[in-house]
A = this chain, B = another copy of it.
Amino acid sequence: VNPEVDELLSALRRHGLRITPARRAVCQVLAGAPDQHLTAVELHKKVEARMGRPVDPSTIYRTIDTLEEAGLLHHVHLGHGAGVIHLSTEDSHHHITCDVCGRTVDLPAKQADRILRALLTRNGFEAGSLHFALVATCTDHTKKGDAR
């Protein structure tokens, strides 16, 4: 249905990796939830739902690692909670997260990249793939003094 799934799968093949039912399901879920930032736990649930049977959490984590190493997805820890996943293909935005309430806002890459890249290189950090997470405190919480 979604051509992106095929891209993911053939990318796996290209890397000499096997296509298994679990991996196929992971790719389908990720491609089907393009703008979402799933945690590993959420991904796990969706994969099980799609496959109609239990899948071991370790399989999910290992699949995430595999796809990460193949450069197909990003895995970032925003603020305090769990890690968050999204495909590299829709890498057109970055994330800003409030470290108090966890509210996340997308930051379009187009306007951010130039500015941020300049800021980084000026400070001796040669960023390769620009793919960031920005954690700050939004005004809702700084006012109340519950900033972290």
Interface 9-residue window, one of A20-28, A32-40, A47-55, A68-76: A68-76
Which of B111, B123, B125, B132 contacts A122, CB < 8 Å? Answer: B111
Given contacts A75-B148, A80-B83, A147-B131, contact A119 B124 (CB under 8 A): no
List the B residue with the shortest CB-CB distance to A93.
B123
Majority secondary structure, A binding face = mixed
Q: Please report which residues of chain A, range 87-113, place their CB below 8 angstroms from some CB of chain B when the two chains form the complex.
A: 96, 98-99, 105-108, 111-112
A143 at the B interface (CB under 8 A): yes
Chain B contacts of A133 at CB under 8 A? 133-135
Q: Whole-angstrom distance between the alpha carbons of A141 and B68 in the complex?
A: 13
